[in-house]
């Protein structure tokens, strides 16, 4: 196996492992975060663990795409130029820096957060076009097209989850400040509960892409 393909496979697999593994931790921790029977300090400590773990899926989501595209190109499953592969890597690395800055600075950089949101919208539109182009003009590469579509669905789910969690932040701030009420706690529960089905859908898409990658289905 060429060293290039071996390294790409390692990166791709590690991204899957950290994405799914950390996401399971976030999913499980969320039940403790909204548990009113626990003390405020306990719930705040749980939130710190949750927010830290949540960074792994964010990073993995960004790196799994260029490594997958590069791997598909190297193995002959995708017909694109290497200059395009390099461009995808550069964009992904810039996006990775943006996500890390947002994690460190938080709401202090709202314009960057908005830019990140619209960047994901543009990504969804771009990848939808790529998928349709493969279906119509390059059906011989439909294997890669299906994986791109599944990945695009995970990004869409992430955007929906963001929308579902809009009411979470003010309610969580109330908890931190010790001003939480029955209503704010209910908002915490409902916002997280409404986002969980889309988290599960993300897992399903990751499972589908894993099965496709292992060629367990054609």
Q: What pTM does this model have? A: 0.91
Mean pLDDT across 158-170: 92
pLDDT tens for each residue of 9-18: 999 999 999 9
Compute CA distances 32 → 46, 125, 135, 195, whole Å. Answer: 7, 36, 44, 16
Q: Where are the domains of the chain?
A: 3-213
Residues 148 and 125: their CA atoms lie apart, in Å, by 12
pLDDT at 216 > cutoff 80: no
pLDDT at 8: 94
Name residue, tokens 């943006």: 98
Q: Are 115 and 95 in contact (CB under 8 A)?
A: no
For residue 154, pLDDT beyond 90: yes
DSSP state letters, 7-52:
HHHHHHHHHHHHHHHHHHHHHHHHHHHT-TTS-HHHHHHHHHHHHH
pLDDT in tens, 98-118: 999 988 877 667 788 889 999
Mean pLDDT in the chain? 92
Kindly tell me if the per-residue pLDDT of 182 is higher than 90: no
Q: Where are the beta strands (DSSP E) in the chain?
A: none
């Amino acid at each position: 196996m060429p060293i290039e393909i071996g390294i790409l496979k390692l990166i791709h697999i590690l991204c899957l492992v950290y994405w799914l593994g950390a996401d399971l931790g976030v999913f499980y921790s969320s039940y403790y975060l909204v548990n009113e029977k626990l003390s405020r300090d306990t719930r705040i400590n749980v939130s710190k663990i949750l927010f830290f773990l949540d960074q792994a899926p964010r990073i993995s989501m960004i790196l799994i795409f260029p490594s997958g595209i590069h791997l598909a190109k190297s193995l002959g499953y995708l017909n694109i130029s290497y200059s395009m592969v390099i461009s995808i890597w550069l964009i992904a690395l810039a996006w990775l820096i943006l996500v890390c800055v947002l994690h460190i600075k938080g709401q202090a950089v709202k314009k960057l957060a908005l830019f990140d949101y619209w960047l994901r919208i543009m990504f969804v539109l771009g990848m939808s076009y790529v998928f349709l182009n493969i279906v119509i003009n390059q059906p011989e590469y439909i294997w890669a097209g299906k994986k791109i579509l599944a990945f695009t669905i995970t990004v869409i789910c992430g955007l929906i989850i963001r929308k579902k969690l809009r009411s979470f932040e003010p309610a969580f701030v109330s908890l931190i400040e010790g001003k939480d009420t029955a209503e704010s706690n209910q908002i915490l529960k409902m916002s997280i509960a409404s986002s969980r089905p889309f988290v599960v859908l993300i897992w399903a898409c990751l499972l589908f892409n894993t099965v496709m990658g292992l060629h367990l289905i054609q």
